[in-house]
Structure 1
Amino acid sequence: MGAPKRHRSTRDEEKLTAKQRKTGKHGVDDSVSPRSDIAGNDKDHEEPSEDAGEDDYDVISDSDEEAMSVANNQTLSDASSNSNFDNHLSYKLVSTEVDSLLKRKWKYTWKVPTINMSNCHWRGTGECINKDLETNSLSVLKPRLYKHWLESCKASGSSESHQSKLRPFLSMCSSYCDIMHYNKKPFYLKGLEEDSNIMDAYLLHSLNHVFKSKDLMVKNERKLAKNQGSVECKSVDDDDAYRDRGFTRPKILLLLPLAGIMRRVVKRLIKLTPTKHKAIVEDLERFCEEFGSGRSEDKDEDDDIENSKLKTSGKPADFQALFGRGDDNNDHFMIGIKYTNRGMKLYGDFYTSDIIIASPLGLITKIGEAEGQKEKDVDYLSSIEILIIDHADVMLMQNWSHVNTVVEQLNKLPSKQHGTDVMRIRPWYLDGHARFYRQTLILGSHTNPEMNALFNQHCLNYQGKVKLECTYKGVLPKILIQARQIYERFDIESIVEADNARLKYFSEKIFPKIKDSIQDGVMIFASSYFEYVRLRNYLKSQSASVCLFGEYIKRNEISHVRGEFFRGEKKIMLYTERAHFYYRYKIRGVKNLIVYSLPEREEFYPQIINFLEESDNMNCRVLFSRLDNLRLERIVGTTAAKRMINSDKGVFVFA
């Protein structure tokens, strides 16, 4: 299996209480705020309209049937969901609120404990969205969607525990605030149940948003048809109630890093879609041929396949689960999903799709084509109302700048009209305020400065922000050998000088000892490609005997490089975190380990240290600065990390 191709880069209004005026719903420091307290195929030559067509909607909408259900005293109510959906999209921002949001000064004013994660808690801006996250749990869903989900859980044998664990996050999603959850245990690291709960929650939320948007447009189309030619119809232009759409149809953008993960999500999306909306799933056969059937996600089959592979492969279990299939590592894909009165269509034209699922690289390619060819555009990104970035930690192993570029491209004014009735477009789209209404979910197993920057600088939702904060025990107990780990802190004067300070410390304190020693088997581990390049150039300038094992190594060179190092023909091996992520080879012959920069993924740290199992002295030196706190606490634990960052001493030993 080859590593996937990756591109390189350098890197409506109501009065508020006095308290609300002081804080602001969105948590921005705002002295005056009137905010109320409320809970694939890209055919560029086509310009389809978002206006309702007979192919897109049923004669009897879900809202009609749900009204009948209430009339018949059925217990499930849609009032909570309507409140969140309608209030969020009908709210009118005023200029002072926009100015406050643009200042990006977020005040996290509340904290609530998480459920099933004793080491974490939620923190948010503005008013606490829900002090008890179990409240208003599944009542946020449309009755048809909720009923189908229950039937799906029963059919798959899901326990009550699965349902109860899904409710808090779904309730949080329905608040329409921005969310950053960076302690999600992924399915490939024995976190299948937790990952599935989070995935079900955001897929249900997305489907709920799509179906409610459709219901609103159907309702308004009927009113307009009924009142056609009347005085009421002539006043439509001045009635915001009929402004129910954006510039283009797509409302949900789901960014995923790999095709294997995308296949898993699409399969689950189909299962969660009510039967009425998936009587026919067009192009399903094509999807299965291109990305695989996804049958391995069935519990029993998944266990059998995983066990059979592990018997014949030296790769660890998480690698097998993430890259086990032939095309799972494909990071270039993009498909549109459209819901009609006949069912759902995969590979829909992007302008007529409701949901777009893509990899960052897939979208970057489309953006690049639009910039280079005038007849092409990416206006289908102009009306995204929910952005979901799942497995963001894996994207860090690709090219995070692609994610930034995609997010910056969202909610821009389109270059063409694309057949949409301008009189039906919501005012805040026309005002260029769509980004303040977009909800963004960033989900991953850990965070880093780049993810935090995206959340703080590009997620400007007026509803506010919620993020997870955690304490860590560290991963040192997972080291299988008695390795002596010497952590050395180097001082920095500014963030700008951090990289130079690291290289200077290495060249003055570490490398001279390596150069003067006759010992071979020295591995230097670097986390980023940028650090790898700087080290490579420095070592070559010192005429060091070095072999290179980076993420862009050719597959036919791997055995040669490993052999040279093992036999001592090359004294030093320069090894990167991404190379470890995509290849996961066991490197033999490591006698001395230098961790130039701590890995982003904490599970890699014990694996790298365990490379020393054949060494006689088992010594390891680790460089870190105060800017490495996020990585450090995941590895040594939150308590130890605070001590190491704040201590007057600069050297710390773990054995």
Structure 2
Amino acid sequence: MAIDESSSVTTRLLTLLNVSATKASKRKRTFEESKPVEKLNKKRVVQIAAPEDSTGSASESTSSEEKEKGVSRPQTDADVEMDAGEDEEVSGTDPYEAHFGLSPSMLTEGAREAVDQRSWTQRRDKCGRLGGVVESLPEGIVGSNAMSTKHKIPEKMREPLQARQAKLPREVVELQNDLLNTLSSYRDLYVTRTSPETQSSFREALTLHALNHITKKRRRILKNNERISHATKAGNEPPEDVQDQGFTRPSVLILLPFRSFALRWVSALTAHTPSSHYQVENNGRFQSEYGLPPGAVDKLANADPGTYPRDHVEMFKGNVDDSFRLGVKITKKSVKLFAEFYGCDLIIASPLGLRMSIEKEKNADFLSSIEVLIVDQMDALTMQNWEHVQFVFNNINQMPKESHDVDFSRIKSWYLDGHAAYLRQTVLLSAYETPETRSLFNQSLKNVAGRIRTEKRWAPIEVPEGIDQNFVQFDCSNPKDEPEKRFQYFTAQLLSAVMKSAVQSANTVVFVPSSLDFIRVQNHFRKINASFTVLSEYSSNQDISRARQAFFSGTKAFLLISERFHFFRRYKLRGIRNLVFYGPPDHPQFYTEFLSYPFLDDGMDASDVTCRVLYSKYDWMRLERIAGTEGATELVKKSI
């Protein structure tokens, strides 16, 4: 039933909720019961399922009319296959049941108020291979030790994992196990320092956690189907405690920057399914749309080692399209890709692709019941349009605009109360922190179970010996004034001094981290009629070639470079003698690379290179990655 008028959404939703209070015997079934019905205490084989897409068999397919309405075909016990004989995995002692059950004990009014007011009690702890962490709980709430929780994994998934781990180094196995144990607490997790070496380990553990979550959710639904069927056949009133669903089916969302990462995540996901009788449906289409076009050569993947930095190769090899969305569901004998959103268990998408879908459909109902959200490569997402990430977060766990043929009597009460965001588990992965990612963690995560943020000390980054690095501080007491204060100091003092020097007013690169600052600096150079050229993320190949040649030949004295340009292109630049950083770069390796570029020219001596870095105390995160934790502390102390 659609709710068309925006002004009557609340009224109609309340009407639907009142309807759900009718007798259980008159409930509309979301999932059909199997025949014959087995005993509740008997071990049987069931499987995670979702309605079939248009490419499936006739018995499992969803009609085109139902698809247009966002309606899912009922699911039977025969559609689901997993080991359901482990009583502890469906009992209240299981972390899933404790966190997402009928009445989560941590979902109190006091906890919600503390989260809304951002009142957290923090303590520092160690979390195995994850290192030091900051653990936060809503103020006034006493929680169990998240690090002592053990992840319960179904046998069908545990055995393949252990077989793969037997071939891995001990430290990798320990990292995966520590991560799984931390995830099992269903607290939010923010990993602030990943690396190309650890990314695959994180992916494997996180896809196992996501699959485990989907499995337990479907198992609970089928158990309740059995209970209702038994009661009905016995002529008894159906049980009332069968609330086991959300507004819509998708419960896991994974946000990624490029299609190439979707390939890796799907590969990690399917690695947990028994290969003997599972297949990936629509895999040919998936490989075609998410891999490189036929005949295309990946110059990064095929380049000689050392030609490009490893982090750049890992980020940009493969298909780097940033607009995609993919529904995934696990059926009896296959992982089905390209499932429609209202009939899938898991969504893999880019922030841009998801936003386009939401704006096209004029609603984000398919995100209303997300229980596990994973955001990978956040450092890359900050180099794209961060507003897309914020848009997605603002549309998750909102009340749906349409009913989507849901049985409201089976919806958990905390969904109906609008409290889903207080239970959603969010996992954030980034190579380093930025103010944007920390702000997202602080302001958009509301999990009443608490949250965990990793923290590690940074050592000073290595740079060529002999270069005089001059860190120039400007005073600023208010972060809102920081962009203006930086620009005024740069134009009035730093750039003015550079322009007066015969040596520093030529062969000079000005590196600007922020795109908005880059436009402002570019306009200023144009205003003072300086001899300059630019390299930005919007530069065409022809523009890049001309700018590099003009700077190297000395035709242009200044070269303005945005950090996003270097992130996407990673060119080695010649002709540099002087470096001016409008602000420390987000990516610490960029600092090392630019200080090494002058030595691409023959006969260069370190004493011939100058380097100035403009900073304020609000650049702490960037400074720490360059000067090290102790060095950044000393630099920031100057402003206190």
CA distance in 2, matches of 1:114, 1:602: 25
Task: Give the corresponding residue for 1:628.
Answer: 619
Among 366, 376, 393, the alignment partner of 2:357 is: 366
3-state SS, counterpart of residue 244 of structure 1 = coil
Q: Is the 8 A contact 2:280 2:335 kept in 1?
A: yes
From the superposition, tell whether residues 117 and 219 of structure 1 become closer, same or farther in structure 2 (CA, over 3 Å): closer
Partner of 1:85: 96
How much does 1:644 deviate?
Answer: 1.1
For residue 593 of structure 2, what is the aligned residue in structure 1? 607
| Alpha-carbon distance, 1:554 to partner | 1.2
Tell me the residue number matched to 2:205: 201
For 1:329-344, what aligned pairs fall within 5 Å after superposition? 329-344=320-335
Q: Provide the residue aligned with 1:212 in structure 2.
A: 216
| SS of 2:623 mapped into structure 1 | helix
Residues 573, 293 of structure 1: alpha-carbon distance in 2 compared, 3 angstrom cutoff? closer
State the secondary structure of the residue aligned to 2:455.
Answer: strand
Range 332-341 or range 223-232, more displaced: 223-232
The answer to whether 1:598 aligns with 2:551 is: no
Identity of aligned residues (%): 29
1:265 corresponds to which residue? 265
Partner AA of 1:542 in structure 2: I
Name which of 642, 646, 649 aligns with 2:633.
642
Q: Which residue of 1 aligns with 2:22?
A: none
List alignment gaps of at least 5 residues for structure 1.
1-39, 68-76, 295-301, 372-376, 650-655
Q: What secondary structure sits across from 2:614 in the alignment?
A: strand
- Give the Cα–Cα distance (whole angstroms) in 2 for the partners of residues 81 and 168 of structure 1: 23
SS at 1:310's partner residue?
A: coil
Q: Mark the CA change 1:610 to 1:86 in structure 2 (over 3 Å): closer, same or farther.
A: same
- Change beyond 3 A, Cα 1:153–1:534: same
**2:254 equivalent in structure 1:** 254
Q: How does 1:140-289 map to 2 (within 5 A)?
A: 140-154=152-166, 157-185=167-195, 187=196, 191=197, 194-228=198-232, 232-234=236-238, 236=239, 239=240, 241-275=241-275, 279-289=278-288
CA–CA separation in structure 2 for the residues paired with 1:586 and 1:437 = 47
TM-score (norm 1): 0.81
Q: Indicate how the Cα distance of structure 1 residues 314 and 159 shifts in structure 2: closer, same or farther if over 3 A, else same.
A: closer
| Residues 425 and 288 of structure 1: CA distance in aligned 2, closer, same or farther (over 3 Å) | same
Structure 2 counterpart of 1:16:
none
Q: Name the stretch that deviates more: 81-90 or 492-501.
A: 81-90
**1:378-437 CA distances to partner (integer Å, 9 max, x unpaired)?**
311110000001111111111222111101100111111111111100001111111111
Look up the SS of the partner of 1:272 in the other structure: coil
| Aligned partner of residue 125 in structure 2, secondary structure | strand
Amino acid at match of 2:80: Y
Give CA-to-partner distance per residue, 1:483-541, whole Å, 9 cap, x none. Answer: 11100110013111100000111111122233334442111000010110110111111
User: Does the CA-based 8 Å contact 2:259-2:291 persist in structure 1?
Assistant: no
1:43-92 Cα offsets, whole Å, 9 max, x none, are: 9613223853467424xx5213x46xxxxxxxxx7589952010101234
Alignment partner of 1:101 is 2:125: no
The separation in 2 between residues aligned to 1:170 and 1:149, in whole angstroms, is 12
Query: Per-residue CA shift, 1:447-473, capped at 9, x if unaligned?
Result: 111111111111101101111122111
Q: How far apart, in 2, do the equivalents of 1:321 and 1:522 lie?
A: 30
Q: Residue 378 in 1 paired to residue 369 in 2?
A: no
Query: What corresponds to 2:446 in structure 1?
Result: 460
- For residues 571 and 306 of structure 1, what CA distance do their matches in structure 2 show? 32
On the 8 A contact 1:310/1:317 being kept in 2, the answer is: no
Q: 2:126 aligns with which of 98, 102, 113?
A: 113
Matched, 1:345 2:357: no
What SS class does the counterpart of residue 158 from structure 2 fall into? helix
Partner-residue secondary structure (3-state), 1:497: helix
1:337 CA displacement: 0.5
Q: Is the 8 A contact 2:188 2:450 kept in 1?
A: yes
CA pair 57-121 structure 1, distance change in 2 beyond 3 A: closer
- The DSSP-based 3-state class of the residue aligned with 1:607 is helix
Letter in 2 for 1:515: M
Query: What's the CA shift string for 1:96-147, capped at 9, x where partnerless?
Result: 3322221122221x222243466x444332556437x4x5544x21222212
TM-score (norm 2): 0.82
Equivalent of 1:322 in 288, 292, 315: 315
Structure 2 gaps of 5+ residues are: 1-52, 55-63
Q: Contact 1:129–1:172 (CA<8 Å) still a contact in 2? A: no
1:567 paired to 2:567: no
- Please tell me the residue identity of whatever aligns with 1:494: N
Quickly say closer, same or farther: Cα 1:509–1:179, change in 2 above 3 A.
same
Shift of 1:604: 1.1
SS of the aligned residue for 1:309 comes to coil
Residue in 1 that maps onto 2:83: 62
Rounded Cα–Cα distance in structure 1 between residues aligned with 2:464 and 2:446: 45
Contact 1:547 1:572 in 2 (8 A): yes
- Give the drift of 1:285: 1.3
Kept after mapping to 2: 8 A contact 1:49/1:248: no
Contact kept in structure 2, 1:123 and 1:469, CA below 8 Å: no
Q: Secondary structure at the match of 1:622?
A: strand
Q: Counterparts of 2:279 and 2:438 in 1: how far apart (Å)?
A: 41
One-letter identity of the residue aligned with 1:95: E
Partner of 1:45: 68
Q: For 2:627, give the aligned amino acid.
A: V
Indicate if the aligned counterparts of 1:55 and 1:340 stay in contact, CA closer than 8 A: no
| Deviation sequence 1:524-582 (CA, Å, 0-9, x none) | 00001011011011111111111110111112211111011111111111101110110
Corresponding residue number in structure 2 for 1:490? 474
- Does 2:459 match 1:473? yes
Distance 1:423 1:529 in 2: 50
Partner in structure 2 of residue 29 of structure 1: none
- CA apart distance, 1:306: 7.3
* Match runs of 1:464-543 below 5 Å: 464-475=450-461, 478-518=462-502, 519-543=505-529
SS at match of 1:345: strand
Cα distance in 2, alignment partners of residues 321 and 450 from structure 1: 23
Aligned equivalents of 2:626 and 2:639: distance in 1? 21
- The residue number in structure 1 matching 2:28 is none
1:429 equivalent in alignment to 2:415: yes
Distance change in 2, residues 1:137/1:161 (3 Å): farther
SS of 2:480 mapped into structure 1? coil
Determine the C-alpha separation between the residues in 1 that align with 2:580 and 2:525.
Answer: 14
Q: Write the mapping of 1:386-397 to structure 2, written as runs, cut at 5 A.
A: 386-397=372-383
CA distances 1:558-614 after superposition (whole Å, capped 9, x unpaired): 111101111111111110111011001111111111000111111111001112324
Given that residues 130 and 179 in structure 2 are in contact (C-alpha distance below 8 angstroms), is that contact kept between their aligned partners in structure 1? no
CA RMSD across the alignment = 2.6
CA distance in structure 1 between the partners assigned to 2:370 and 2:281 by the alignment = 23
Distance, in Å, in 2 between the alignment partners of 1:497 and 1:437 is 36
Question: 2:145 aligns to what?
Answer: 130
How many residue pairs were aligned?
A: 561
User: How big is the shift at 1:160?
Assistant: 4.2
- The reply on whether 1:445 has 2:438 as its aligned counterpart is no
Report if aligned partners of 2:510, 2:559 keep a CA contact under 8 Å in 1: yes
Once the two structures are superposed, what CA deviation does each residue of 1:195-238 show, in whole Å capped at 9, x if it has no partner? Answer: 2222222111111100000100111111111211656434x4xx
User: For 1:103 and 1:137, how far apart are their aligned partners in 2?
Assistant: 31
User: Relative to structure 1, is the Cα distance of residues 308 and 455 closer, same or farther in structure 2, using a 3 angstrom cutoff?
Assistant: closer
